[in-house]
Amino acid sequence: MILSTPSAPALALARTVPRREYWFGLPALCTSARSARDTVRDRLRAWELPGDTCCDAVLLVSELITNAVLHTAGGRVLCGLTLTGDERRLRIELHDECSTPVGPPEHRAGPGEENGRGLLLVQQIADSWGCARSTRAEGKVVWAELTAAC
């Protein structure tokens, strides 16, 4: 009988944890923010992420979907959660049908203003965030990343 030893790439592959992904679509309506928060909370609890990471992710999703709903002309948004193979990074993506890029807030909302704080919150909470052309929708993707370590 001939025994062979696995190659180095095969051993490395066997030791890596596959990354986790979860995608869901929602109508581009203001009421979808609650559904997005609930869905993200449930998924991250199922993945057993720390409570602080879950809370931050739920807030980020809420702000990103609210921003997308207010500014997209399309009827749907697509939200994605990706946990890296080492389970240390959580990436949140919000794809919409609007091609207008999103950037850092140009001014701070005043005390009497009801809107204008969402992207400031994203900027403060996320380890990194940005905007790019979407590969999953006709418009753009706004993404944010969090450290998911315990």
Q: Count other C-beta atoms under 10 Å from residue 130's C-beta.
A: 14
- Number of independent structural domains in the chain: 1
Per-residue model confidence (pLDDT) at position 71: 77
CATH number at residue 49: 3.30.565.10
Identity (one letter) of the amino acid at 70? Answer: L
- Chunked in runs of 10, what are the mean pLDDT values of the chain (150 residues)? 47 57 94 96 95 95 90 86 88 87 55 59 90 85 86
**Is residue 127 in a domain?**
yes
Does pTM top 0.75 for this prediction?
A: yes
Closest by CA to 139, choosing from 28, 18, 5, 20, is 28
**Is residue 123 in a domain?**
yes
**Is residue 36 in a domain?**
yes
**Is residue 14 in a domain?**
no
**Is residue 45 in a domain?**
yes
What does the angle CA 59 – CA 20 – CA 86 come to, to the nearest 5 degrees? Answer: 95
